[in-house]
Amino acid sequence: MDDSVARETNPTVLLADDQADVREALRLLLKSEGIASTGVDGPAGALDEARRRGFDVALIDLNYTRDTTSGAEGMGLLERLRQLDPELPVVVMTAWGNVPLAVEAMRRGAADFIEKPWDNARLLGVLRTQMALARSVRRQHRLEAENALLRGEGDAEFIAESAAMQRVMALVARVAPSDANVLVLGENGTGKGVIAQRIHALSARAAQPFVKVNMGGIAETVFESEMFGHVRGAFTDAKSERIGRFELADGGTLFLDEVGNVPASQQPKLLRVLEDGEFERLGSSRTQRTDVRLVSATNADLAADVAAGRFRRDLLYRLNTLEIVLPPLRERGDDIVPLARVALARSAQRYGRHGLRLAPSAERALQAYAWPGNVRELGHLMERAALLAEHDEVGAAALAFGRTESASAEGGFEQMTLEQAEGWLVRRALDRFDGNLLRAADALGITRQALYRRLEKHGLRDPADADDDDA
């Protein structure tokens, strides 16, 4: 079991005091509350135990056998424990009335202090509070580390606040250290390539090459040359030797993106190298061996392709030893606004639009949209907003979801909020009549004054104002 998980389910306190009766009294008190403890009689024992295992909180005396007034040994122990585990809360104990010593301990990093003789209720309350705070800090740090891990060097920002993505991240952490082949499934734009990179980064092959191949971009006529390489003279234009992708990835990870596009005629050759680890360069009779970990990705239904005879069943079995399914963005409600904020900030920095922020109306619209293009579409939308926004606050009307010149495409009005649909209709009417407000209002069935109100509501400008600016 992961040490951090064990600490949350079985809380344990490190007790450091040179008096055996004090340690025993504390042990019995904690035991009565279902809290385990490990007692030691001095700083050396405390540091040994802290190196050996993780604790939820340390409760340490400030004075030990060397002297009983200065607190020097306790202060030294406090600093060493903080160096050893910065996330470990340390509560210090000091004799009644020696508050200045406790204050100095707090200044040096103690989480709280208890006076001897202690009040049971206060002691338990302080320890419970510190354990809860420590758990919260550990969870936050773990989430930040996992988010950073999934973002990696990929183009897409990965936020994992939603339950759906948390499950994906946990699965990635479990399968990555193995050498098993992984098939990553998901709609276009969900970040399958980023997941593949993270699997590699978490594996024992992380220091070795990560080679990506877009199988949809390889013509059938050059498949063997691209994947296995060729020797000079293998075909008319083969003026020099070429190393193939399997050879390049030897010892590392080979990522086959859009693997469902492998031509049927080439699937047996791919299957052979996956089964035997052997291949020949095109034009050569010398058999070479390769050791690669394969990660594949597709948005296709490979089971349906197998049933239709377009994809080999035995090849699918080789690819999907383990499967990871990425949820579409519409199923990651808690991630949408954080993703949008990060993407907008990144684009704003790129284009020198500092201070850009999403208006509440934009955040509501983002959450209501169906996101057919997933995270990739969100990134493009935020980039467009950073380029075109007229104000620092980006409203819903400025988002132009899906470039909806054709409202019926990709779900159209059925996927819009009422506010989005109204804004789209107003923009479309203005475009149709070259900014003529009277004709646009007539086409919309509203008065010119009502159209002015809607222009203001959706952050659109009166074309006459734009003409004045241009003058």
pLDDT at 406: 40
407: pLDDT strictly greater than 50: no
The model's pLDDT over 418-428, given as tens digits with 9 standing for 90+, comes to 666 777 778 77
- Rounded CA-CA distance 183/122 in Å is 54
Determine which of 65-69, 363-367, 384-388 has the lowest per-residue pLDDT on average.
65-69
pLDDT at 287: 81
Kindly state the average pLDDT of the residues 130-141. Answer: 78
Neighbours of 207 (CB within 10 A): 9
Q: What percent of the chain has pLDDT above 90?
A: 34
Kindly state the average pLDDT of the residues 103-116. Answer: 87
State which of 42-46, 63-67, 416-420, 422-426 shows the largest mean pLDDT. 42-46
Kindly state the average pLDDT of the residues 117-121. Answer: 91
What average pLDDT is seen over the chain?
Answer: 82
Using DSSP, state whether 221 is helix, strand or coil: helix
Q: CB-side exposure of 62: number of CA atoms within 13 Å?
A: 27
CATH of domain 330-470: 1.10.8.60
Confidence tier at 259 by pLDDT (50, 70, 90): very high
pLDDT at 5: 40
Dihedral of CA 340/342/345/351: which sign? negative
- Top-confidence residue, 407 or 319: 319
Kindly state the average pLDDT of the residues 336-359. Answer: 89
Domain ranges for the chain, please list them: 3-141, 152-325, 330-470
The domains spanning 3-141 and 330-470 adopt the same CATH topology: no
Determine which of 68-77, 298-307, 341-350 has the lowest per-residue pLDDT on average.
68-77
The model's pLDDT over 140-158, given as tens digits with 9 standing for 90+, comes to 655 554 454 444 444 444 6
pLDDT at 142: 52
Which overall architecture, per CATH, does domain 3-141 show?
A: 3-Layer(aba) Sandwich (3.40)
* Structure tokens, 268: 């047996």
CATH of domain 152-325: 3.40.50.300
57: pLDDT strictly greater than 90: yes
pTM over 0.75: no
What is the enclosing helix (H) or strand (E) of 160? none
The CA angle 172-175-181, to the nearest 5 degrees, is: 110
Rounded-to-10 torsion of CA 284, 288, 294, 299: 10
pLDDT at 311: 94
Is residue 416 within 8 Å of 366, Cβ to Cβ?
no
Kindly state the average pLDDT of the residues 453-469. Answer: 57
- Rounded CA-CA distance 7/130 in Å is 13
- Top-confidence residue, 140 or 110: 110
Q: In what order do the strands lie in the sheet with 36-40?
A: 36-40, 12-16, 57-61, 90-95, 112-116
413: pLDDT strictly greater than 80: no
pLDDT at 444: 79
